[in-house]
Structure 1
């Protein structure tokens, strides 16, 4: 048996990260490559370390041929494994080079085709197995423990983990490029991950064909794998999540490999023991932050440039009809909307704070008038309405998550307004009434929220409890925190439902929980709340793009667009957007509390990178398309989607979140205007 014991401290980590043990069983037949030990082990398949498909039938690779190593050697930190795979048309010369890196085992796999003719209908692979089974998979931005909530909508990938289940997606779809799996065995909880260095597949049959990453379930185990193009999901081969309603055919993703071709694929293997159910993916998220460290580059727009641009655009949305004053949701309608897509209340908090650091002569006046008017929102049996239609002089809509978001901005505005001498009387009357209503509702024994959306009430209730000395509101906030911790820390019900246009796992639901758990920690100092916040944070971070995805010709490539720091929306809506700028201050705050410079750096990148694509007026659209996806229901050419940009959806949150987040960064003392 050939065993390598590895120990290395990864750059940018807060604590030491020790790679798992690498073993090559040279004295056994067949020779296997093993990463880890005990139940927490990744092992190469029994049929062979290398597997290559030589045919294509019914939309999937066939004619699989396998090869075992015939030689093992070492060169410095590298363990090199070599083999051959003879075919009728020629011979594959194969090798793997393993070494410890960043708390993982890195491998570069090399395929050399020595044949007399091109090898058509070929599929290359990387395959490693664990003995665990079940749905405990995290494919960042795509699958969260099977997407149990999204499964009900029929619009998302799902994975149960029964024998035959498969989930493979293009690498460019992944914000963090890894497949993580968690399972329980022998009284413990274990985890394993396959990280990848994403790249297009050379000699591909399809235009813009990339390697695919995912997993499959077989009798008694689960296989983490890379394929050179084929995709699968929801019981179907050769499909991708290309439209909001569901899946589109993605056929013939095979290779035509010419004689003399050399193909290399780099990946990283990791295994670990998990402290509890639902925490396994967190190890993989932290490893991804080490493998793809956040780096701020000088070509990004500065905070000041972004803030000034967004202030210019905010002026175009200002509505002034005397007592009716505020920031319009749409460019062509006078509708005022609090929360989610409208964020009419956000600048009531942000403008006075920003005006202390920048020349915004109208800041205090517009903040005062907008919140004065919004304080008149009509209450009803579900709380308060968040939409105001000036032409009809009518308040409407029942949107709980929007109410929670609006209440937090009011609380922040009151806290800062009291200090700066603003007239907060109307705001306080409104917030008192809203908090009393929702605290009483949450306190009821039968309160059982449908999704994670009502976690948006935790932070405003906790903050208002201190502002108005109302301990019952803090009790309600704590109860809500307990409910969501019970539901989601195990990942049996991953955070979900944080938006109004999807019913599935999403980053906004995780953000709501992060915001709530962190508020409870800030108000009580109880360590368990910080631990809960860390769990929600890692779910949020799994939606953050940590690498610059290479893009084809198109609108995004025209601007040398960088994807780092943008966030995937959800398993249903598979584009990236700027929502992460509002989450970024909480990521920064967690970096302060944990003394983790990586989190501070990625928070700043989340803000600055999302300032790309602003036009001269300060406007930008919502939907850059980093992967094969469009929000519309039908597409004519799948390969034409990636690299596109939908700029005509410019609802006000795209502006307000930048200004709201900038104010929060300033309160945290972040170096954003230096």
Structure 2
């Protein structure tokens, strides 16, 4: 059991306009803060150090406003923050092109979304909790998404050398509201009128933390274990049925045999757009990531297992097309467009190819070679491996953006080269001189700094240098692969640390939806889904990409937690699948990319009415891995 003392707490009364009208410190007994009289009760610390706090709130006259519970840590001139899935350290690096909330000490630039204080609605967080660290220790506070006073909020603030985290009943969003755009919306809040004649019972949880930033891991695991029995997830279909639906979606809706591509997006509505869908369907294919070889590989594995000739033929043609069209620099291209053919990645750097996309395509090409040995595929894999190995910097950095024409590394920033580690480790049959493994080891040492700092960023092409769940997947796959090849315990330790960080993006509870929204009508359970990133605040299924690696990590550590979390993700995304044309206002096999669990991009409770190739592909991949014995769910 932890010996850390419980944090010192402060209660604040905030009026409807956001002004603090009363405040008082107190961890037990009766506390008066402005209009509130609060009986504060704290329980004994749990084995993980969690202290339950109950607030019994009364008022003598009606009051419309908020009650905020604050925990603070001193010696925090340079604080570190974590709100799971939502806020990581400074959150947005100063040189990140994408604009979303950023912390900076002493800053007050709401229009630029740079501030020294932030408050958010809780459903933006994968776990409604906020962590802060100073030089010698940290603190944490959390609550449930909803309360008797309405939807809750979480947040942070920096005052001199003091870092504060809070929960607030009901929520306030301050200094502005982020809605997915570079232009913020005005600050918003839920409203609640506290009335006399009774008490409102509110609950929170707090903890005192050591200086190690990774101290969040046992706390979040304990909160997940508390939450799991209260937030069930019921898949709609079995794993084999889900595989069949996803494979049909790839072949029926995304595959175009001329020239042999998996179109990235397909609209649910085929009547308004016309049969060919061209006004809304994205007539393009990335070589990896949102389309291309990874999902063709999943389709190939499915086709071989089930004897589906159409699936095998489609998968083979897509991989053939990618392998037959390498860039002048020797790697794959970034993406193909119907109007212009093969071209660069989604990067503002002219002629740039994104390292993560190239690495993921190469990794899954190597896996495809395990299913179907083809000389042209092997030659393409070797070309990609050779040129990226030869570009590696002496310190192990593999580069983030590469020039399509001459192979120069155009950017070394971020950690997008992580995916190449798994690719190099998977190329054992082609590694005649051991140079691929040597490159993987050097890269593993270099990128370890991102994992150890608890800030991994740069993986998706469209989110620049923001921290994302996809960075976590890449790190897990990289360090599990290194351990698989070398049995070095250092890599296993880094794999575990990376998995803990990745799981901060995974929802530990079921968001409450309005009953007439699509997600509310269908009872969609969010536990197991991942926040895409602090910049893209929607749930997505990309975490299924490392189903195999999480199972392998559990086997190597003897800790079932990681495999269980992989299973719950697969449970989550076996919901909301159209099993027949017309269901979910779509067609069988169409699978959305975005589930809107909070107010960002779209109103909470909606879904994006586009099927994405990667959404079907990653579900198919996880199902095939589980069926092959790499995962644990037998649904």
CA distance in 1 between counterparts of 2:472 and 2:600 reads 23
- Conserved 8 A contact 2:300-2:316: no
Partner of 2:246: 310
Deviation sequence 1:152-200 (CA, Å, 0-9, x none) = 3362222235599322211111112221222323xxxx33322322214
Larger Rg: 1
- Conserved 8 A contact 2:448-2:494: yes
**Does the C-alpha gap of structure 1 residues 315 and 20 become closer, same or farther in structure 2, counting only changes over 3 Å?**
same
1:525 to 487, 491, 508: 487
Partner of 1:169: 120
Pair 1:497-2:447 in alignment: no
Deviation sequence 1:350-406 (CA, Å, 0-9, x none) = 234334543524344443333233210222237321323466665654232211111
Partner of 1:12: none
Partner of 2:30: 83
SS in 2 for 1:481: helix
Partner of 1:106: 51
Q: Counterparts of 1:434-445 in structure 2 under 5 Å?
A: 434-443=384-393
Pairwise CA distance, 1:150:
6.6
Partner of 2:180: 243
CA distance in 1 between counterparts of 2:563 and 2:236 reads 16
Partner of 2:134: 183
SS in 1 for 2:201: strand
Pair 1:618-2:565 in alignment: no
Unaligned runs of 5+ in 2: 108-114, 267-277, 346-352, 400-411, 581-587
Unaligned runs of 5+ in 1: 1-17, 22-33, 36-41, 70-80, 203-208, 418-422, 632-640
Pair 1:399-2:343 in alignment: no
SS in 2 for 1:613: coil
**Does the C-alpha gap of structure 1 residues 244 and 518 become closer, same or farther in structure 2, counting only changes over 3 Å?**
farther
CA distance in 2 between counterparts of 1:170 and 1:614 reads 28
Pair 1:329-2:294 in alignment: no
CA distance in 2 between counterparts of 1:571 and 1:212 reads 16
CA distance in 1 between counterparts of 2:53 and 2:341 reads 65
Pairwise CA distance, 1:669:
3.6
**Does the C-alpha gap of structure 1 residues 242 and 229 become closer, same or farther in structure 2, counting only changes over 3 Å?**
farther
Q: Counterparts of 1:185-584 in structure 2 under 5 Å?
A: 185=136, 190-200=137-147, 202=149, 210-232=151-173, 236=175, 239-251=176-188, 253-274=190-211, 276=212, 278-293=213-228, 297-316=233-252, 317-321=254-258, 324-331=259-266, 332=278, 335-342=284-291, 344-355=292-303, 357-381=305-329, 383-389=331-337, 394=342, 397=345, 398-417=353-372, 423-443=373-393, 449-491=412-454, 494-503=455-464, 504-552=466-514, 553-584=516-547
SS in 2 for 1:99: coil
Deviation sequence 1:40-63 (CA, Å, 0-9, x none) = xx2234xxxx4334x45xx42321
CA distance in 1 between counterparts of 2:79 and 2:148 reads 28
CA distance in 2 between counterparts of 1:96 and 1:395 reads 62
CA distance in 1 between counterparts of 2:68 and 2:25 reads 12
Partner of 2:70: 127
| Superposition TM-score, scaled by structure 1 size | 0.79
Pairwise CA distance, 1:326:
4.0
382-391 or 656-665, larger mean C-alpha shift: 382-391
CA distance in 2 between counterparts of 1:670 and 1:146 reads 35
Partner of 1:663: 624
- Conserved 8 A contact 1:182-1:281: no
Partner of 2:568: 605
Pairwise CA distance, 1:541:
0.4
1:628 to 579, 599, 606: 599
Partner of 1:634: none
Q: Counterparts of 1:38-53 in structure 2 under 5 Å?
A: 42-45=7-10, 50-53=11-14
Deviation sequence 1:571-610 (CA, Å, 0-9, x none) = 1111111212223332222222222222222211101211
Pairwise CA distance, 1:245:
1.8
Deviation sequence 1:476-532 (CA, Å, 0-9, x none) = 1222222211244124xx111211221211111222222112211111111111111
- Conserved 8 A contact 2:236-2:577: no
**Does the C-alpha gap of structure 1 residues 159 and 141 become closer, same or farther in structure 2, counting only changes over 3 Å?**
same
Say how many residue pairs are matched: 581
- Conserved 8 A contact 1:20-1:270: no
Partner of 1:144: 88
**Does the C-alpha gap of structure 1 residues 671 and 210 become closer, same or farther in structure 2, counting only changes over 3 Å?**
closer
SS in 2 for 1:270: strand
94-103 or 372-381, larger mean C-alpha shift: 94-103
- Conserved 8 A contact 1:389-1:395: yes
